[in-house]
Amino acid sequence: MTDLPDIEPLLTTLTERVAALAEAEGPARCTLVGIHQGGAWLAQALQQRLGWQEAPGTLDIAFYRDDLARGGLPGAVRPSKMPLDIDDRVIILVDDILYTGRTIRAALNEIFDYGRPAAVRLAVLLERPGRQLPIAADIVAAPIDLAPGQRVKLRGPDPLHLVIEEASP
Instruction: List residues near other proteins by CB under 8 A.
Output: 60, 62-65, 68-73, 75-82, 109, 112-115
Q: Which is nearer to other proteins, 147 or 168 (CB)?
A: 168
Least spacing, CB of residue 36 vs other proteins, in Å: 11
Smallest distance from the beta carbon of 72 to other proteins, in angstroms? Answer: 3
State how far the alpha carbon of 104 is from the alpha carbons of 16, 63, 131, in Å.
22, 13, 11
Nearer to other proteins, 36 or 121 (CB): 36
Three-class secondary structure of residue 122 per DSSP: strand
Minimum distance, C-beta of residue 7 to other proteins, in the bound complex (Å): 30
CB 169 within 8 A of CB 12: no
Q: Check if the beta carbon of residue 152 is closer than 8 Å to that of residue 169.
A: no
State the minimum distance, in angstroms, from the CB of residue 52 to other proteins.
22
Residue 71 vs 169, nearer CB to other proteins: 71
Q: What share of the chain is helix, strand, coil (3-state, %, to 5)?
A: 35, 25, 40
Give the Å distances, CA to CA, from 42 to 6, 12, 119, 164.
15, 11, 20, 18
Which CB sits closer to other proteins, 8 or 87? 87
